[in-house]
Homo-oligomer: A and B are copies of this chain.
Amino acid sequence: MIEPSGTIESMPVLKGSTIDPARTRAAILEAATPLLYERGLDGIGVAELCARLGVSKETLYRHFGTKDGLVQAMLEARSERVTRWMAEAVAAAGQDPAGQLAAVFDALQAWYDDPAFRGCAMLNAAAQHHVEPVRAITARHLDRYLDLLTGIAERAGAADPPVLGRQWLMLVEGATVVAAHHDAAGAGEHARRAALALLPAARTGPQG
């Protein structure tokens, strides 16, 4: 999803894996993720999913118990992966909070430009399955994102870091929505400029 995550192949993804349950489970998770993301949680059945994965239904059900079990495990893994990826982008941006903030939206723009981009997987999932576990995973995902942004707000010396972090979170999610459902071009850049404008001091240099 985030990094160009491999287009959808039509053939088995599991190979080389000897009989190692843990590895099988991880491989299923990894291979199922882009399929469920592209087609939607209900857009692909267990049968086709298994066929594409090169895995029997019995194996899938032994590891995840239920389709919902697979979905939830997939969403958890994806949320953690996205959060870690974004945290690394921030960490790689140096010490300046403004630079860190800019890095967030530049990373988002790169994601939007991926042809496989189809919006936030957690939000999409929550819109489809409004069962409680999925909603909880989505809420936790937003929590993680909010923590990251609030941290930047704190280091930027904001008067009210939680509120500023929340406003930035709205820009992040709003930019993702607009990019997914309206126009991806420049969405990250426009959101970034808005986010920087909310910084306490205008220490942002050239806003190009």
Contact = CB atoms under 8 A, between A and B. Distances in A.
Nearest to A168: B194
A181 B40 contact: no
A124 B120 CA distance: 12
Interface centre among A42, A171, A197 (most CB of B within 10 A): A171
A8 interface: no
A69 interface: no
Interface string A182-202: 100001001101100110000
Contacts of A142: 178, 181-182
A172 interface: yes
Interface centre among A123, A143, A197 (most CB of B within 10 A): A123
Chain A interface, DSSP helix/strand/loop, else mixed: helix
Interface residues of A, number: 38
A16 to B, nearest CB: 33
A177 interface: yes
Contact of A173 (B126, B127, B146, B178): B178
B170 A170 contact: yes
A24 to B, nearest CB: 30
Copy tally for this chain in the complex stands at 2
Given A138-B181, A174-B175, A42 B42 contact: yes
Interface in A121-147: 123-124, 126-128, 130, 135, 138-139, 142-143, 146
Interface centre among A40, A119, A146, A173 (most CB of B within 10 A): A173
A194 B71 CA distance: 35
Contacts of A181: 123, 126, 135, 138-139, 142
A163 B177 contact: no
Given A118-B130, A163-B190, A169-B174, 18 more contacts: A40-B128, A126-B181, A139-B181, A139-B182, A142-B178, A142-B181, A166-B178, A167-B171, A169-B178, A170-B170, A170-B174, A170-B175, A170-B177, A171-B194, A173-B178, A177-B177, A197-B198, A198-B198
